[in-house]
A and B are shown apart, each in its own frame.
Chain A
């Protein structure tokens, strides 16, 4: 025993050598059958240094993990295991609190594998412990943690007899004690962190127990739970440095009520009105609390869930309800939050991507939008009637003092996008629009001026671009043309401009999306010079931060280039190619981090030139574009970095394919020396054997093209 203590002590040594040795010796100890028993003894040696006892409990946990979870080899008999189980369980409640956490973890591992088949009594023991330790919040927490953990899987496993038998067993043993405990514990004092944490655990267990179906005993005891929920929702919000203490508890309760509302309508019906009132009162109470995000989110989504279900329509038709929801619940949450602002400062590109993802339901703002959409899908007229004056007054408020009241404008934009765009797709933006505003008028009078201001709040510019993108298929051709002809976006693209570089991403995104609109696509000839300006600006900006590491800039560039007129392409093709080659080169050498999609669009651009500019204008270094491309291809194939080998082969395919088209069109003076040399090398290389699937497929394709190419060649000859 003393030896083991020494070894444990040495595992804490600062000396690397000594520590490693000790760990090895400890492993040998663990092969002996007395090892766990000895560890238990050490854990309880009161006059021993705490760090050693802690080392003992950690070793015990690791041992248990090894034996139970990783199915490590062990000569433990079933009897030994039974003893360890019981000892761990008892120790969890009797060891000092500092050590109990590791023991809880150890027991969690055991129970996860042994309950219910091998260790059915565990649930009896837990039920008894729950009552015994109701007054000791740390011990109670351990106990609830185990139960919560056992039950968690009921939420995400598919129904099976085995699973339901287990649930029945757990319900039988634990539900009544849990109910009594929950009611009594919520009446206890003080209502502090540990009490609230334990209450949250209890609700979490409750949630798991009713997630497969509504068990009889749960239904019979609906009243005490709901009454206690009522009580807990009515607690004054308690502030703590890092947010609301009640957030997690309220969140969990709100999710439980949501489950009832969606699945057990009949049973919850008598309590529904009261629950709704409670939840929105709680939303009101917590709306100014920083960090109460989880509950705000689940609360908003809860109301959204009800709003779309026919059963609950009555709850919304009352006088002033929708007004209240819009004013008190949605409006305060619909503009950018402080977290959004932090993200914008810390990682602008991440913010941008997040922002484009639309209203992510994972955020409070997204949840507010979800609720707004749900309400307007059911009560459109009313929502529009209530919102219209608010929008007008908020716009006025903003215009009086834009710097101070930018949030008003931000909320207006979010609201309009949420309500007006009833359905949306990536490809088309809004596909179904409500009558709240006249999109054209609003764009002309409010949105476009925002973009033209010399100075503006960053997020308002972002909002304006998003507005245009969202409604691109609803805006009149005049407005869309205006956007290009009046160079609305130019100043945001200029690399030397005063604007925040993040706005370049918004502008690039907006241009790229607008170019997909049919009327613009059909009209691209007349926009040629503007597209060229965009391209030049984008290329010039590539050396700036947030450019070549970002696919949106390259995607926009690619789109602009593909819209250029043939003669423009012919004249600019080599300059553009050089840029792309250097981009690919940088990515290949990993000198700076290039977004993989950005690289993709680099290659796409070269492919476009293969198609459109195969025969180069007089005065070029080479007469045919393939000469430039083979340079690139060899470059990629010879590189140490093998990442782009598939791209190289794809470029070769594109070349051969286009060569065929050129011959078909009578351009039979194209020399084939470069091709033959390349194919010779390709066939003699080991690329088909050693390569990956992609390589092999592409290689085969190349090989086929080569045969075709020879056929054409021979035919012409």
Chain B
């Protein structure tokens, strides 16, 4: 009830609610384009021989190849075709579907040829099966309705069944096809699982990982990413338990691309509820991810940092498991030195979550000497980085002890904070102002004899001018913060007055105008 009540008023209690840890999944409404940094959820198998040649020469080359119209192809397939016919038609279809551009997906679907491709998987000829699997892979790599059309024809079951065949190239192609289906949406993921996909997946990961080609391993890792990718709903907890050991295997596999994909998978799983986080924590997988933090490849760092960030957005014990790995003092300074703004943003998000934790956890950030770094990013980051850095500092002020906030004060934060006050963004300005208020408050409480020095450094940074200007802001929360700062710290003149100050204006005017004394 109390919470409901506070929500009735736009700004009341807002700071308290928001300055806690932030889950990625909690941002329900997005205005900005979501830029997910990772792999595509569908991939087409483009014919690499065709890829490097122009359309014309492609056509020239295809002269050797028998050309059909789709109607003709259909006709041949329905009239008791020979193996050669099948090979020719399926190769033709596959080539059509593998063109770099202008893929005739719609035509092929409309002509009902997808059904034929699914049946092709059952033909007892590896060439035909391979061409069918490839062609289907490219069909399901299209729009959702293309994928759905193939699924309706039984492509999932067909591909899964064919994947058991002892021909690695064909099996890999089948996995690729299923990966595209799973990549489409959560519903098709569950459909593939119902069709027994996890069995064949388990079979390959547990028994064949050391014997298959590296490209196949990568395909398996990628399919694993797709399994974990979708949010609504997320893959069920029982399947998570099944997959986690596989992810660990991939992470330990000595191939950056495999590690990357599986790390994304883990980042999706950890972007979830506490239950998932508990499972992951128990799977002894975090130390493996920790090793990836040393990587200089941004594509590798991104998901690895994301996993830890997700953990810090869980409860205190999840956060603690990240701190316990020692990444704050050991890995993060190095990442700050080398990483891109994108990764830096993720790291700052991670730290802001730790800074929303217990005083001991906040102390861990302080002792790892990371607070000065965060302040630096307030100055030189792009706005997204600045926003995350401001969250971190603001969380420190909000959840930290007074001594910890005072520690922040000793780092001369005003030179970083004040210049940000001219950025037109209400939430951001509110953060910065509340930080300023906390810092001055901590100094006033713990080191009052030096308060004047801090006030001076605030004024030197242009703080008074900026805050006075913001008092005209239309947002009531901003106005109030400014008023409080001015009123508490800067309203008196610099005199040592004998009088406590001018009487409040209008104070006496309310009285009845009759003399109190009658001497």
Please report A residues at the B interface, Cβ cutoff 8 Å: 155-161, 164-165, 167-168, 171, 211-216, 219, 255, 258-259, 262-266, 301, 305, 308, 310-311, 358, 361, 423-428, 431-432, 516, 596-597, 599-600, 603-604, 607-608, 611, 634, 637-647, 650, 654, 681, 685-687, 690-694
Cα-based distance from A639 to B159 in the complex (angstroms): 101
A-contacting 9-mer, from B189-197, B347-355, B421-429, B438-446 = B421-429
Apart from the given pairs A642-B508, A645-B516, A647-B503, 18 other A-B contacts in the complex at a CB distance below 8 Å: A155-B474, A158-B427, A158-B477, A160-B10, A161-B28, A161-B29, A164-B31, A213-B32, A214-B31, A214-B32, A215-B32, A216-B32, A258-B424, A358-B465, A643-B509, A644-B503, A650-B500, A681-B517
Are the CB atoms of B516 and A686 closer together than 8 Å?
yes
Closest residue to A603 on the B side, CB-wise?
A: B499
B324: interface (CB < 8 Å)? no
The 6 lowest CB-CB distance pairs between A and B, nearest first, are A423-B460, A607-B498, A646-B503, A156-B474, A215-B31, A263-B383
Cα-based distance from A356 to B346 in the complex (angstroms): 46
Chain A contacts for B147, CB-based, 8 A: none
Are the CB atoms of A427 and B502 closer together than 8 Å?
no
Chain A contacts for B33, CB-based, 8 A: 216, 219
Chain A contacts for B238, CB-based, 8 A: none
| Contacts of B290-311 to chain A: CB distance below 8 A | none
B497: interface (CB < 8 Å)? yes
Closest residue to B506 on the A side, CB-wise?
A: A643
Chain B contacts for A426, CB-based, 8 A: 459, 464, 494
Cα-based distance from A691 to B498 in the complex (angstroms): 22
Chain A contacts for B460, CB-based, 8 A: 423-425, 431-432
Chain A contacts for B503, CB-based, 8 A: 643-644, 646-647, 694
Which residue of B10, B31, B508 has the most chain A CB atoms within 10 A of its CB atom?
Answer: B31
Closest residue to A599 on the B side, CB-wise?
A: B502
Chain A contacts for B497, CB-based, 8 A: 604
B84: interface (CB < 8 Å)? no
Chain B contacts for A305, CB-based, 8 A: 422
Are the CB atoms of B507 and A427 closer together than 8 Å?
no
Hey, what's the 0/1 contact readout for B491-517 against A, CB within 8 Å counting as 1?
A: 000100111111111011111111111
Cα-based distance from A638 to B514 in the complex (angstroms): 9
Cα-based distance from A599 to B508 in the complex (angstroms): 15
Chain A contacts for B474, CB-based, 8 A: 155-156
Closest chain-B Cβ to A160's Cβ sits at a distance in Å of 7
Cα-based distance from A596 to B461 in the complex (angstroms): 31
B369: interface (CB < 8 Å)? no
Cα-based distance from A305 to B423 in the complex (angstroms): 9
B338: interface (CB < 8 Å)? no
B215: interface (CB < 8 Å)? no
Are the CB atoms of A637 and B498 closer together than 8 Å?
no
Cα-based distance from A685 to B456 in the complex (angstroms): 45
Are the CB atoms of B516 and A687 closer together than 8 Å?
yes
Are the CB atoms of B502 and A692 closer together than 8 Å?
no
Are the CB atoms of A423 and B425 closer together than 8 Å?
no
Hey, what's the 0/1 contact readout for B442-474 against A, CB within 8 Å counting as 1?
A: 000000000000001001110011000100011
A263 touches which of B29, B423, B430, B505 (Cβ 8 Å): B423
Q: Can you list 12 residue pairs at the A/B interface with Cβ under 8 Å?
A: A155-B474, A158-B426, A158-B430, A158-B475, A263-B383, A310-B379, A426-B494, A607-B499, A637-B515, A637-B517, A642-B508, A692-B508
Chain B contacts for A211, CB-based, 8 A: 424-425
Which residue of A640, A642, A686 has the most chain B CB atoms within 10 A of its CB atom?
Answer: A642
Are the CB atoms of A158 and B31 closer together than 8 Å?
no
Which residue of B11, B28, B424, B430 has the most chain A CB atoms within 10 A of its CB atom?
Answer: B424
Cα-based distance from A583 to B516 in the complex (angstroms): 23
Chain A contacts for B511, CB-based, 8 A: 642, 690-692
Cα-based distance from A23 to B94 in the complex (angstroms): 84
Cα-based distance from A219 to B498 in the complex (angstroms): 60
Cα-based distance from A646 to B461 in the complex (angstroms): 37
Cα-based distance from A161 to B27 in the complex (angstroms): 9
B510 touches which of A168, A361, A424, A692 (Cβ 8 Å): A692
B519: interface (CB < 8 Å)? yes
B516 touches which of A165, A691, A694 (Cβ 8 Å): A691
Cα-based distance from A693 to B500 in the complex (angstroms): 14
Hey, what's the 0/1 contact readout for B377-420 against A, CB within 8 Å counting as 1?
A: 00110110000000000000000000000000000000000010
B427 touches which of A159, A171, A687 (Cβ 8 Å): A159
Cα-based distance from A640 to B14 in the complex (angstroms): 48
Chain A contacts for B513, CB-based, 8 A: 640-642
Chain B contacts for A361, CB-based, 8 A: 465, 469
Are the CB atoms of A681 and B519 closer together than 8 Å?
yes
Closest residue to B342 on the A side, CB-wise?
A: A266
Q: A211-B424, A642-B511 are in contact. Are A685 and B517 (CB under 8 A)?
A: yes
Are the CB atoms of A604 and B499 closer together than 8 Å?
yes
Chain A contacts for B505, CB-based, 8 A: 596
Which residue of A424, A432, A645 has the most chain B CB atoms within 10 A of its CB atom?
Answer: A645
Chain B contacts for A156, CB-based, 8 A: 426, 473-475, 478
Are the CB atoms of B11 and A158 closer together than 8 Å?
yes
Cα-based distance from A353 to B502 in the complex (angstroms): 20
Are the CB atoms of A692 and B507 closer together than 8 Å?
yes
Q: A642-B508, A681-B517 are in contact. Are A427 and B456 (CB under 8 A)?
A: yes
Closest chain-A Cβ to B497's Cβ sits at a distance in Å of 7
Cα-based distance from A156 to B473 in the complex (angstroms): 8
Cα-based distance from A516 to B499 in the complex (angstroms): 19
Are the CB atoms of B32 and A266 closer together than 8 Å?
no
A645 touches which of B501, B504, B508 (Cβ 8 Å): B508
Hey, what's the 0/1 contact readout for B108-146 against A, CB within 8 Å counting as 1?
A: 000000000000000000000000000000000000000
Q: A425-B459, A600-B499, A639-B515 are in contact. Are A646 and B507 (CB under 8 A)?
A: yes
Chain B contacts for A644, CB-based, 8 A: 503, 508
Cα-based distance from A687 to B508 in the complex (angstroms): 12
Closest residue to B473 on the A side, CB-wise?
A: A156
Are the CB atoms of A640 and B515 closer together than 8 Å?
yes
Chain B contacts for A425, CB-based, 8 A: 456, 459-460
Cα-based distance from A542 to B251 in the complex (angstroms): 85
Cα-based distance from A541 to B456 in the complex (angstroms): 35
Chain B contacts for A637, CB-based, 8 A: 515-517
Closest residue to B28 on the A side, CB-wise?
A: A161
Closest residue to B477 on the A side, CB-wise?
A: A158
Cα-based distance from A310 to B498 in the complex (angstroms): 48
Chain A contacts for B504, CB-based, 8 A: 694
Cα-based distance from A156 to B424 in the complex (angstroms): 9
Closest chain-B Cβ to A111's Cβ sits at a distance in Å of 18
Cα-based distance from A686 to B515 in the complex (angstroms): 10
Chain B contacts for A597, CB-based, 8 A: 502
Closest chain-B Cβ to A548's Cβ sits at a distance in Å of 16
Chain B contacts for A608, CB-based, 8 A: 498
Cα-based distance from A219 to B32 in the complex (angstroms): 8
Are the CB atoms of A157 and B498 closer together than 8 Å?
no
Chain A contacts for B383, CB-based, 8 A: 262-265
Cα-based distance from A681 to B518 in the complex (angstroms): 9
Closest residue to A638 on the B side, CB-wise?
A: B515
Which residue of A167, A216, A263 has the most chain B CB atoms within 10 A of its CB atom?
Answer: A263
Closest residue to A633 on the B side, CB-wise?
A: B517
Q: A158-B430, A643-B508 are in contact. Are A638 and B517 (CB under 8 A)?
A: yes
Closest residue to B7 on the A side, CB-wise?
A: A160
Which residue of B499, B505, B519 has the most chain A CB atoms within 10 A of its CB atom?
Answer: B499
Closest residue to B472 on the A side, CB-wise?
A: A362
Cα-based distance from A72 to B456 in the complex (angstroms): 52
Cα-based distance from A266 to B345 in the complex (angstroms): 14
Chain A contacts for B31, CB-based, 8 A: 164, 167-168, 171, 212-216
B382 touches which of A266, A638, A690 (Cβ 8 Å): A266
Cα-based distance from A605 to B212 in the complex (angstroms): 95
Are the CB atoms of B498 and A638 closer together than 8 Å?
no
Closest chain-A Cβ to B466's Cβ sits at a distance in Å of 9
Chain B contacts for A640, CB-based, 8 A: 513-515
Chain A contacts for B29, CB-based, 8 A: 161, 164-165, 168
Are the CB atoms of A642 and B426 closer together than 8 Å?
no
